[in-house]
Amino acid sequence: MATKKMILDLDTGVDDALALAYAVADPNVDLIGIISSYGNTLVETAAQNSLNLLHLLGADDVPVFIGARHSSTTNQFEVMPISQMIHGKNGVGDVILEQSPRAVEKQSAVDFLIEAAHQYQENLIFIPTGPLTNLAAAIKKDSKVATLIGNTTLMGGALTVPGNVTPFTEANIHQDPEAADFAFTHQKNLTMVGLDVTLRTLLTKKETADWRLLNTKAGKVFADLMDFYIDAYDHLNINKNGAALHDPLAVAVGIDPSYVTTLPLAMHVTYNQENGDYGRTIGDKERLLEPTTSKVAVLVDAKRFVNDFQNLMLSVLK
């Protein structure tokens, strides 16, 4: 068993599925649990997607926990039409997955995260790839979480490029800017892997064709869901050269930070609706003189990452 333990917090859409596969495949970490969130799909659908994908990959031993069903400031959540266009109505490219024999855990996701933070401390890697509602809730329930977790690497935000929801705002942050601001201003050892770097990591149908050549059920399923994603990027004019590996890059950086060049920066998130920059991830001028405990990825070795990602996928999809 690897010394480093990993928890994924997924709103399981297509790139979350790839992040899950990456975490299962990498021998340098032990995936000890998945927290389900809302975003690309409803939280219950995300949880079942995770269970079914784990089953497909022969990792039924990994538990899945239900997290927040909506943001910290609303009472409900509805999937955005654009999310369904990109990820499919079921979150995984409308591919029908075999049902896992395992059910979601009865323990709450927040309590699971708190317990794991105390148990593993500096050896725990936490990777949120959706809204930061669960992380903020855990810190509010137990403030020690903010300093206990050894490495929090999130997929979200945009510092040097425009957002993908508004000119300032990236989708995961946009789901719950207040929770994101709380996490950014409290959580230590935090690295933001945002659109600045993820948009530079593209996968094409050349790679998914290699998955199909494995002639395995997992290879076909992952190729089908990723091809759906690549087609959506093309049809929606997001990128006609391929689809970005947003969430897998966050997992990779959590394990091996050398994939990216980071800028030490105390961050916060704006959430005043009247200012026109709702959900913006930006340096916090109020903390410029304080010690910096967070980093922002601004450059990525895309060629090395995509090559390593492909090799890991070929190993786990056999």
Q: Which active-site residues does the annotation give?
A: 11, 246
pLDDT of residue 1: 80
pLDDT of residue 272: 83
Q: What pTM does this model have?
A: 0.97
pLDDT of residue 254: 98
- Give backbone dihedrals phi and psi of 243, rounded to 5 degrees, phi first: -115, 140
**Side chain identity at residue 99, one-letter code:** Q
**Position 112 pLDDT exceeds 80:** yes
**Position 273 pLDDT exceeds 80:** no
What is the C-alpha to C-alpha distance for residues 232 and 95, in angstroms, rounded to an integer?
A: 14
Domain that holds residue 245: 4-316
Mean pLDDT value across residues 250-267 = 97
Is residue 216 within 8 Å of residue 318, measured between CB atoms?
yes
Q: Could you tell me what percent of the chain has a pLDDT over 70?
A: 100
**Position 277 pLDDT exceeds 90:** no
Among 2-6, 49-53, 269-273, the least confident range:
269-273
pLDDT of residue 19: 98
**Position 276 pLDDT exceeds 90:** no
Q: What domain count does the chain have?
A: 1
pLDDT of residue 11: 98
CATH of the domain at 71: 3.90.245.10
Grade residue 275 by pLDDT with cuts at 50, 70 and 90.
confident
Q: What is the three-state SS of the chain?
A: CCCEEEEEEECCCHHHHHHHHHHHHCCCEEEEEEEECCCCCCHHHHHHHHHHHHHHCCCCCCCEEECCCCCCCCCCCCCCHHHHHHHCCCCCCCCCCCCCCCCCCCCCHHHHHHHHHHHHHHHEEEEECCCCHHHHHHHHHCCCHHHHCCEEEEECCCCCCCCCCCCCECHHHHHCHHHHHHHHHHCCCEEEECHHHHCCCEECHHHHHHHHCCCCHHHHHHHHHHHHHHHHHHHCCCCCCCEECHHHHHHHHHHCHHHEEEEECCEEECCCHHHCCCCEEEECHHHCCCCCCEEEEEEECHHHHHHHHHHHHHHHCC
